[in-house]
Structure 1
Amino acid sequence: MKRILGIATAIGCLFQQSASIADVGYFSPSGVRAEFALAVDMATINAINGPEHIADSFRIAAENAMKVNLDIGPLISKPRPAKNLIVSYASQDGSRKKKALAGMEMNKLRDFVSDDRIRELLKPYMEAIFPHKTALYSVFLVDEPYLNGVSKSELERVANVVRSAFAENGYPEVKLGVLFAGAMFNKRFSATTQKAALAYVDTIDSYAKSEQARIDALPRSEGEIARAQFEKWKEVIFNFRLTTYDTAGNIYAGGGIPSGFDILAFDLYLSTALLDSAYEDTISVLATESGIPECADFINVKMSKFRSTLSFMQSGPMSAGDHLRDQDHERMNRFYNCRVKATVKLLRDEAKNSGYTNYETMVITESSSNGLMEFASDGSPEAEQPELLVKARVVEEVERAIRLYKEPDSGIDHMLFFTFDDEFDKSIKLQVGGVASNPKAMESISAASDRK
């Protein structure tokens, strides 16, 4: 999902990026909040809850001279029908297999609606925000397109439709943005992610097959209990499996950056990088593909190995001591600098290869507690959480981003922080704290903006 960073005009010219104003703000999907409208430069919001709700966000932004990026993905794209998902894959042993579980209708893969439907859906939103149109900075088509199965050519096609629709309705110079999941524009990065996602599928399918064979071989008296337990496992897996199962094999791995966009953005959230098995080898890929010195220690390092060095990623009682916190702080500094700087470099390289000479960059970075809570070694969150310590870790992660943002050669025009509000994460059944409940983190973000 996706935060903003800045760069001096001279550096922007040096790298042939646009000499735009550097901005700091929030990725706040549910809308603009009065609590931050005067404190930051920009916010990205989702086109949800109807035109009146969005118009209210634009009104608040306009009254406070804040800019808004509108993500219209929830409006103009729908989950891909399960019948259209690719379900065959190359297993880890090299054989061709079919996924054992049927695709879920509410998956993360996206398909755009028809061109006429796009225009029809956008019209009431464009009309609703028109009185506050000065607040509109850019429009994003869909979140993390390549990861969610949207191809480069489809992005280019729909970009033309959206740009013309806005122009016809009084927005002649609207900027369009594209937000990638990590470095999915890099072919090796996307191929590595795809391979890991398919390994997740193969692990589930192989277990299901071997467990079924084991149960079939049991005596009848033992088999009934085992079969009931296995049916319960299948029910849980079918209903609560990671979205990775359906995404695997459907990721667009062709690489490149689509033409026709003004803002090139990426997110690489700490929680995703640390805990998503599809990212197991991506830090090593970023290290080798970018070749930057900040990543020298991450070549051939698996994410599970790095995770095991962090004191808050251990099973058992919570680790304590200033020396452990200092070690975590140093390791997390290196991890942030590697993954973000490497992705920025690869983005600039790919932009050049794709023919871009004038563009803005945006980074969405973490300001929630999602990846900074206490976890067991398998990545599952502990039931008890040290609230003050978790908030302190969030502040440190925010300050890492701000330090990078302030570097004169960061290569970043906009940095947005996710998220502002507290949210209940159904996937882990825990309350995830945004900066709204972390005053020190909020203060650091506000201080980094141009709204002092």
Structure 2
Amino acid sequence: MKLANLAGAMALLLMQGCAPPTEIGFLSPDGLSSEFSPHVDVAMVNALSIEQLTISLHEARRANIRLLVDLGPIMRQPAPASEVKGSYLGSDGNERQKQLAPAPRNKLWAKAGHADGMRRLQAYLPLLSAYADVVDSVFLIDEPYLNGVSRQAYAALAGDVRQTLDGAGLQHVKIGVIFSSALFNADFAQLIQRHAAAYVEAIDNEYLRIGDQPASPAEQAWRENIAQHRLTTYDLAGNIYTGGGIPEGVDWVSFNFYASSLLLDQTHEESLAWFAKRFADGACARFANTTVSDLRKQLSFFHDGSMRAGQHWIEQDRALLDAAHDCRMEGTLTLLREAIITSGRPVQIMLIGESSDNGLLEFDARSTPKQGQPAKLIELRVRDEVLRARNLLQRHEDIRRLLYFTYANAYDPAIALHIGGAADMPSVLAEIYRN
């Protein structure tokens, strides 16, 4: 299969006439900032509270930009342990029981979340109506399939939200969905499910190996740490929705497939190889039978020892990351167009790019961030990633919006790491703001 645009998809997505100019902005979960609002066309914020959302809506009106509202914090609530599937398919093909109980604040969606979310949405309707002139779209549950929400469940929620919005005089407000990578494709979703299960199996095997025997201090520390600080992947395994497809009732479809996700998320270990098998031409060809572990070994910033400095390394990293970006993004876009055609809905595509340094820091061979990060070199890598999204946008007329994640800096106390958004990287901001 070729990575070319599908003629039928273009006819469906572009509809008729010339497409309007693409809108560019930020996915800024904490809220809209006056620091960047004058420079963008659109922004997406989370609905964290009525007070927080009011500030963002007011700023959007002042700056005369469109605001997309992620209702996920309203709609979602962690699933109780009784609703989390505690088994997975092991590498031997047999069903295995997980050794650890689900985390209380897991990312899976509780069955009661639909009714409870609709009830909580009522409190926000007067605010959304008061700012109807700037509210463009709402998104309901972030990465639904990854977090165990089926296509049918998302469609049912979208239908109820549509009816509620219409009743509040918000008929113009669109409904969207953001997928994690290519999970709208059933075959790809099965791949991610298998790797999530492999992550669980590795933990469970070690847990069982230690068993009830007297554990060494290191083994005891591992057991205590893994019980508290394991990845959300542990709970997601066996619960990921793998049916694929585009939910009914949505007007916008989007996906994120960040460089940081590719390089740091173990579930993507074989993603490039999967795309290379599905799309044998173009940028994917070099990744045939290549794991992400292989890819990291070729990058200058995943290794033990001192930093690999110099133009040679910069150019080698850039070429490799260019190819990895083109492979996964072009492949995912092609799969998305196929899914849209199958759905029969004239939905529009929004792209989410990366503008943080999360996956572009200096790491050791175990993917642990090193101390003393080279700020200017990292900024160059982030700018390159921003340019990759911009270039992709220019190649595809059916991408109507491009949002960069994220603007603000953040601090992750769990790993004592400062994660830089675009805010403190002038060259990155300049590229995003460029007309």
Task: Calculate the TM-score normalised by the size of structure 2.
Answer: 0.93
Aligned to 2:385, which of 397, 401, 406?
A: 397
User: What SS is found at the alignment partner of 2:326?
Assistant: helix
* Contact 2:357 2:421 (8 Å CA) reproduced: yes
2:319 aligned partner? 330
* Contact 1:368 1:418 (8 Å CA) reproduced: yes
**Structure 2 residue 383 is the aligned partner of structure 1 residue 383:** no
* Contact 2:136 2:172 (8 Å CA) reproduced: no
Output the CA distance in 1 between the equivalents of 2:8 and 2:412.
39
1:446 aligned partner? 433
Residue-by-residue CA offset, 1:380-430 (whole Å, 9 max, x unaligned): 1112211111111111111111122122x3542111100100001234320
Distance 1:364 1:30, change over 3 A: same
1:25 aligned partner? 25
Matched AA of 1:402: R
Output the CA distance in 2 between the equivalents of 1:205 and 1:315.
28
1:6 aligned partner? none
2:42 aligned partner? 42
Aligned to 1:363, which of 351, 373, 383?
A: 351
Give, in angstroms, the shift of residue 120 of structure 1.
Answer: 2.9
How many residues align? The count is 426
Structure 1 stretches lacking a partner, 5+ long: 1-9, 217-222
Matched AA of 1:318: M
Distance 1:101 1:127, change over 3 A: same
* Contact 1:307 1:313 (8 Å CA) reproduced: yes
* Contact 1:77 1:113 (8 Å CA) reproduced: no
User: What SS is found at the alignment partner of 2:295?
Assistant: helix
2:236 aligned partner? 247
Matched AA of 2:295: F
Output the CA distance in 1 between the equivalents of 2:348 and 2:232.
31
* Contact 2:348 2:398 (8 Å CA) reproduced: no
Q: RMSD across aligned C-alpha pairs, in angstroms?
A: 1.9
1:432 aligned partner? 419
Output the CA distance in 2 between the equivalents of 1:346 and 1:106.
32
* Contact 2:260 2:359 (8 Å CA) reproduced: yes
User: What SS is found at the alignment partner of 1:157?
Assistant: helix
Matches within 5 A, 1:56-71: 56-71=55-70
User: What SS is found at the alignment partner of 2:40?
Assistant: coil
**Structure 2 residue 293 is the aligned partner of structure 1 residue 304:** yes
Distance 1:261 1:20, change over 3 A: farther
2:404 aligned partner? 417
Give, in angstroms, the shift of residue 132 of structure 1.
Answer: 2.1
User: What SS is found at the alignment partner of 1:370?
Assistant: coil
Matched AA of 2:84: L
Output the CA distance in 1 between the equivalents of 2:369 and 2:113.
41
- Of 12-21 and 70-79, the range deviating more from structure 2: 12-21
Aligned to 2:274, which of 280, 285, 295?
A: 285
Output the CA distance in 2 between the equivalents of 1:119 and 1:126.
11
Matched AA of 1:311: S
Matches within 5 A, 1:92-241: 92-111=91-110, 113=112, 116-212=115-211, 216=213, 223=214, 226-241=215-230
Matched AA of 1:306: L
Give, in angstroms, the shift of residue 37 of structure 1.
Answer: 1.0
- Of 333-342 and 104-113, the range deviating more from structure 2: 104-113
Output the CA distance in 1 between the equivalents of 2:178 and 2:149.
12
**Structure 2 residue 13 is the aligned partner of structure 1 residue 16:** yes
Aligned to 1:294, which of 264, 283, 292?
A: 283
* Contact 1:115 1:161 (8 Å CA) reproduced: no
Give, in angstroms, the shift of residue 108 of structure 1.
Answer: 1.2
* Contact 1:184 1:255 (8 Å CA) reproduced: yes
Structure 2 stretches lacking a partner, 5+ long: 1-6
Distance 1:208 1:387, change over 3 A: same
Relative contact order, CA 8 A, sep 6+: which one is greater?
Answer: 1
* Contact 2:354 2:406 (8 Å CA) reproduced: yes
Output the CA distance in 2 between the equivalents of 1:20 and 1:146.
30
- Of 98-107 and 279-288, the range deviating more from structure 2: 279-288
